[in-house]
Amino acid sequence: MLKKAGLVLSDGTTIDDLIDLKMNEVSLRVMNDPELHRFEMERIFARTWLLLGHDTEIPKPGDFVVRDMGEDQVIVARSRDGGIHVSLNVCPHRGMKVCTAEAGNTQVHRCIYHGWAFRPDGDFIGAPIEKEQMHGNKRTKSELGLKKARVHLYGGLIFATWNIEGPSFDEFLGDSKFYFDQLFCRTDSGLELLGPPQRFMIPANWKIGSEQSASDGFHTLTLHRSLMEGGVMGGTPESIYDNAPGMYGVDVSCTEGHSLRCLEAAQTFKMFSNVSFEGKTTEERLHLLPPPGITPELIPQLFKNLSPEQVDMLATIPPQVGGMFPNVLVLFIFAPRTDGGSSGALALHTYIPRGPDHFEFVNYIFAEKDAPEQVKRDMLQNSIQQAGTSGIIEQDDADTWPQIMRNTKGPMSRSITLKYQALHGHEKPEGWPGGGLLYPGFTKDDTQWNWWLNYHRLMSAS
């Protein structure tokens, strides 16, 4: 008896054939299937909340950036009243891009093809030669604006969705909000983007990057071995697998597919291993070892903006890496430097689908807005050297993912399944302050499996 599946491909394959819920396996075919890709664009990227940038990118009225919601390009613009608007970058007249720049400032977005003009909020102003009514008389001007997405600002991060009546942003974050707040909503002035994002192409499916962003801690030991060899993490190159630096902590997750790895710095980095927190108050611990991106003068702001439980987590076991479903990677790391300094590196990535076989890697680099200029300068340098285009960590990811992609083509290779069977199971550590699905101890496959469960849920819903 066939189970009723919410998604059936034209060859009869169902989503349950591709994602085996009993065995915790995913068919490699999901990484390269044009038909599935079209469903993903409709059922995930046209439905869920997506990260598009930060409000410090467009501080002035008229400022805009052009970004992507899946394969749909949008204009993210600030209107005269200070509001941020997200509108489809498709002229409703003949389908031309209304905006051909990546960023700029204008009060009028005028399509270069026939001159239809729009305000930063997407409203239609008019077509040239007003007396000739070149927008016709069948539709009112209010019907001829750019298609508008629903916008939400979270810690200055700009999110948007086409699902106008769908879940609120807080519902989308679910139980993970308690943890993400510790990264994005902890200071009075919030984060500042240090410059426009780096952009580069990866010849791989967007999910190859994204499933890793769902807190795949385990790959660090082998793929990022050079971090141990460089001497910044605990252990020596010879003892990497014995000491397993950075593997132990608490992975936090939720049914919405987001996750974060909370790690004790002293257990992870060699340079912090002599820091003893024994008998210290939360405040003393924060001064001994401020969380990534936080300077001593910002510490009082943490108590003001967060609950005591959240501050206590930042002081002992801060969230450092993870991701937000469907395509965001979070990297808020200590980033110890070879010169002994450590002001941290704060970065977010989005993995933008470009057909089933490519994605664009967009790397946003942040600092706290109220951090001293020199700290911002150091953090920018840390981030660029560790992550993104030339980053020594992510160079290795960028070379691995295309090789997985090459393996998605042959009939034998496509039927291989990815294994998510090293599972811990939800377990709430004693006295743990937050909610969600919790996995203490060695980092395992649970958080990534939760990512696939949410993928399965959204893809099954028509």
Partner 1 sequence: MIDRSTAAVDKSGVMRGLTSKNRVPLGSEIYNRILETLYDEAAALDERRFDDWVAMLDKDLVYTAPIRLTRTGPNRDRDVMRTMMHFDDTYESLLMRTGRLSKSAWAEDPPSRTRRYVTNVRVGETENADEYEVVSYLYLARSRGESPDYEKTTGERRDVWRFANGKYKLARREIILDQSTLSMSNLAVFL
Q: Smallest distance from the beta carbon of 460 to partner 1, in angstroms?
A: 32
**CA–CA distance, 198 with 380 (Å, rounded to integer):** 12
Q: What is the largest CA-CA distance in the chain?
A: 79
The dihedral through the CA atoms of 429, 432, 435, 439 has a sign that is: negative
Tokens encoding 228: 């141990």
- Residues lying near partner 1 in the complex (CB under 8 A) are found at 53, 56-60, 63-65, 100-106, 192-203, 223, 225-226, 229-230, 237, 338-339, 360-361, 365, 373, 380-381, 384-385, 388-390, 392, 394-396, 398-403
CB nearer partner 1, residue 41 or residue 223: 223
Q: Smallest distance from the beta carbon of 261 to partner 1, in angstroms?
A: 22
Long-range contacts of 105-109 (CB under 8 A, 24+ apart): 105/60, 105/62, 105/63, 105/64, 106/62, 106/64, 107/61, 107/62, 107/80, 109/64, 109/75, 109/77
CB nearer partner 1, residue 14 or residue 385: 385
Q: Smallest distance from the beta carbon of 102 to partner 1, in angstroms?
A: 4
Q: Smallest distance from the beta carbon of 105 to partner 1, in angstroms?
A: 5
CB nearer partner 1, residue 251 or residue 378: 378
CB nearer partner 1, residue 53 or residue 217: 53
Strand order in the sheet with 63-69: 84-88, 72-78, 63-69, 103-105
CB nearer partner 1, residue 23 or residue 113: 113
Q: Smallest distance from the beta carbon of 156 to partner 1, in angstroms?
A: 12
CB nearer partner 1, residue 214 or residue 352: 352
Q: Smallest distance from the beta carbon of 187 to partner 1, in angstroms?
A: 17
The dihedral through the CA atoms of 293, 298, 301, 307 has a sign that is: positive
Strand order in the sheet with 157-161: 50-54, 157-161, 150-154
CA torsion, ordered 264, 268, 269, 275, to nearest 10 deg: 40
**CA–CA distance, 332 with 310 (Å, rounded to integer):** 16
Q: Smallest distance from the beta carbon of 385 to partner 1, in angstroms?
A: 6
**Which of these, 129, 128, 110, lies nearest to 118 by C-alpha position?**
110
Q: Smallest distance from the beta carbon of 401 to partner 1, in angstroms?
A: 8
CB nearer partner 1, residue 238 or residue 430: 238
Exposed (0-12), middle (13-18) or buried (19+): which is 192, by Cβ within 10 Å?
buried
Cβ within 8 Å of residue 421, ≥6 positions away: 23, 24, 25, 445
Instruction: Give SS3 for 412.
Output: helix
CB nearer partner 1, residue 265 or residue 347: 347
